[in-house]
Structure 1
Amino acid sequence: MFGLAYGDALGAPTEFIDMKQIHRRYGFDGPRVPEGNPALVTDDTQMGIAVAEGLLNALENPPFTPDLITPIWRRKFIDWLNSPDNNRAPGNTCLQACRNLEAGLPWVKATQAGSKGCGANMRVTPLGLVPGFTDETRAAASQLQAALTHGHPTGLAASELTAFAVWWLREGMDPADLPGALRARCHEQRTTYHGDWLEDLWQQPGMESPEMFISRGWDECLAVLDRLDAALARLDRDADPCEATGAGWVAEEALATGLLAFLLFPDDAVSAIWRGAASSGDSDSIACLAGAFAGAHLGMDAWPAEWAGRIEYADALARIGGAWD
């Protein structure tokens, strides 16, 4: 949870500037330390906290089902929408979907069906920290939290992969094995549609079946994993990662570029978020994911101790992370 926020804060000032501007502002090395006291995060961390707090509320009243968690997440997302802290340039997809939720629309009508923006990826990371879930529950819940705002199948598949990457790293997977495990997951789940959780979301123009709908998302994730493999074969730690796996504005590219930043420095958490922040794309989101992966793999000792005292929402991050340590 802290890695998520550290990456978010480090990448926020570089989100809308290119590499030349980054080098002019920070020198060739780019940003290395989150700015400010407190170091401010963006909507990525805010909504990650909302998803996590919803999980904690739901897990107090088992069993964990879609009927239990859906109204809780709806309420958390609406609370975020109306929060005075919601002033960090959030994406239009999240804003419009949350307005629709607040208006009382069923979530399958409230969601933005054509959007696979990366907004759902960063906030799913807490689902990779919860012990005791079956793979099916972790997968279905990861896709549901995405689907509440981003209804495109690639947004669902990428969110599931993000959550599983965090879970596998937390459980001790060697980072070098991660791309292969994610690829295998894509193939295994390619036609799995979690109807009890996703209802009739699949009924979109051009879609003849739930399997046809969800396979589109898995296929796009497989394609970007090909680009990730090619980038890791080159292992160029000095290059802008967006040139290899995409700028990160859409879900599958955010996953792949966040993974690339992490896998270039699997044992150096600060360098992982630096590589995400020193990029030409959606830098806060890329660094946010890289930080979550690094934190799941390496733990709190991987970060400078003084950062924990000045990151925004430190109390919430500590409470959430501590609940699942």
Structure 2
Amino acid sequence: MGRATGAMLGLAIGDALGKRTEFLTMQEIGLLSADWRQLPLPKKAKVTDDTQMTLALARALRAALAEGPLVPLRLELPLREEFVDWWRSPDNDRAPGMTCLRSCFRLSTGRPWQDASDLGSKGCGANMRVAPLGLVRELTDQQVSGASQLQSGLTHGHPTALAASELTAFTVRWLAQGVEPTELPARLRAHAVEQRTRYDEFWLGDLSTRDHFGSPEEFIARGWDECLRTLDRLDAALAAGELDADPCERTGAGWVAEEAFATALLCFLLLPDDPVAAVRRAAVSSGDSDSLACLAGAFAGARHGEGAWPADWVDRIEYREELLAFGALWD
């Protein structure tokens, strides 16, 4: 079925669809396509920093696992190198987020990653790139949890960024394992409640001490509480079921991590059996369209596999060969 391949292709396809509509109003997007269900993939299907940073994480994860079981230092070292290489690359010209740029500069100086992290930022750069951690089947739940927070923390250290990254990774993981989409909201809520005061010092080290706000448990609880409130909004949006409404009006524009997660998941759950429509719905939105469609594509691809995507779309997506290589590795 190729669920990992489907997720890797889907996130890049969604990214390329949303790249065209990001920063446009709904009226302006309507000039591109009068019906959101018909939004075309550009002939040159270029992606954004979302896919570039996803591939950076994928390469670091592959390198880490080649050395043995996944542990913090084994992931942090190649991930730091990949992020700094991305920051320096001439191909890093796709409107990257300022938090990622500033944090990667600080990482390049060799300082501890906790000092390079931006604890004030919960931007969607934290979780737009996390899908690979949900696709490696040999990882334990504890490794997925810790590593998803660690990869966020290298740039976005806000507790909500950490929590939203973990929820995003587990959504991909559960869908790839065959969990039914209708089960996801309750599973996610239960997971958030269970994790609410669990600060994982093994993976995060002393990150919370940079915050100067209460105990480590209080630090991390702030993030899970924000995510739980966003899950409330997701439940209300699913109950309303307004397929033709701008999804950003229900669960947020997606510039921050918990909203990117919830709005992308909303688009997928409204159209769980139509992956192409799900990424189009996410791309035709008033918010951070590329990140929303990127995540919706990862969810839909993990659910439906590589057959979810039109062959002509796959043929022209940027970074196609590398995306397929990682899909084959993890399938």
Instruction: Report if TM-score (shorter chain) is over 0.5.
Output: yes
Residue of structure 2 in register with 1:16 after alignment: 23
Gaps (5+ residues) in structure 2? Answer: 1-7
Q: Deviations over 1:255-312 (max 9, x none)?
A: 0000001011001010000000000000000000000000000011111011111100
- Aligned with 1:123: secondary structure? coil
Residue of structure 2 in register with 1:240 after alignment: 246
Quick one: which amino acid aligns to residue 100 of structure 2? C
Residue of structure 2 in register with 1:96 after alignment: 102
> How many angstroms does 1:169 deviate by?
0.1
Q: Deviations over 1:210-242 (max 9, x none)?
A: 100000000000000000000000111100000
> How many angstroms does 1:89 deviate by?
0.5
RMSD of the TM alignment (CA)?
Answer: 1.0
Quick one: which amino acid aligns to residue 20 of structure 1? Q
- Aligned with 2:118: secondary structure? coil
Quick one: which amino acid aligns to residue 325 of structure 2? R
Q: Deviations over 1:144-170 (max 9, x none)?
A: 000000010000000000000000000
**Contact between 1:241 and 1:257, CA under 8 Å: does it hold in 2?**
yes
Aligned partner of 1:73 among 73, 76, 79: 79
Do structure 1's residue 86 and structure 2's residue 92 form an aligned pair? yes
Quick one: which amino acid aligns to residue 141 of structure 1? A
Q: Deviations over 1:28-69 (max 9, x none)?
A: 3365221023x1000000000000111111111102211111
Residue of structure 2 in register with 1:319 after alignment: 325
Number of aligned positions between the proteins: 324
**Contact between 1:2 and 1:308, CA under 8 Å: does it hold in 2?**
yes
- Aligned with 1:76: secondary structure? helix
- Aligned with 1:287: secondary structure? helix
CA shift in 2, pair 1:65/1:274, >3 Å: same
Aligned partner of 1:32 among 14, 39, 45: 39
Quick one: which amino acid aligns to residue 67 of structure 1? L
Deviating beyond 6 angstroms after TM superposition, the runs of 4 or more aligned structure 1 residues are none
Percent of aligned pairs with the same residue?
A: 59
Quick one: which amino acid aligns to residue 34 of structure 1? L
Residue of structure 2 in register with 1:260 after alignment: 266
Separation in 1 of the partners of 2:52 and 2:92?
A: 8
Aligned partner of 2:68 among 62, 66, 74: 62
> How many angstroms does 1:204 deviate by?
3.5
Quick one: which amino acid aligns to residue 127 of structure 2? N
Using the size of structure 1 for normalisation, the TM-score is: 0.98
Residue of structure 2 in register with 1:51 after alignment: 57
Using the size of structure 2 for normalisation, the TM-score is: 0.96
Separation in 2 of the partners of 1:15 and 1:5?
A: 15
Do structure 1's residue 276 and structure 2's residue 282 form an aligned pair? yes
**TM alignment of 1:146-225, pairs within 5 A:** 146-225=152-231
**TM alignment of 1:121-132, pairs within 5 A:** 121-132=127-138
- Aligned with 2:210: secondary structure? coil
- Aligned with 1:321: secondary structure? helix
- Aligned with 2:207: secondary structure? coil
Aligned partner of 2:312 among 306, 312, 317: 306
**Contact between 1:274 and 1:287, CA under 8 Å: does it hold in 2?**
yes
Separation in 2 of the partners of 1:25 and 1:133?
A: 42
CA shift in 2, pair 1:244/1:205, >3 Å: same
Q: Deviations over 1:153-189 (max 9, x none)?
A: 0000000000000000000000011011000000000
Quick one: which amino acid aligns to residue 209 of structure 1? S
**Contact between 2:268 and 2:279, CA under 8 Å: does it hold in 1?**
yes
Separation in 2 of the partners of 1:8 and 1:31?
A: 16
Ranked by relative contact order (alpha carbons within 8 Å, sequence separation 6 or more), the top structure is 2
Moved more, 24-33 or 129-138: 24-33
Gaps (5+ residues) in structure 1? Answer: none
Do structure 1's residue 133 and structure 2's residue 117 form an aligned pair? no
Residue of structure 2 in register with 1:228 after alignment: 234
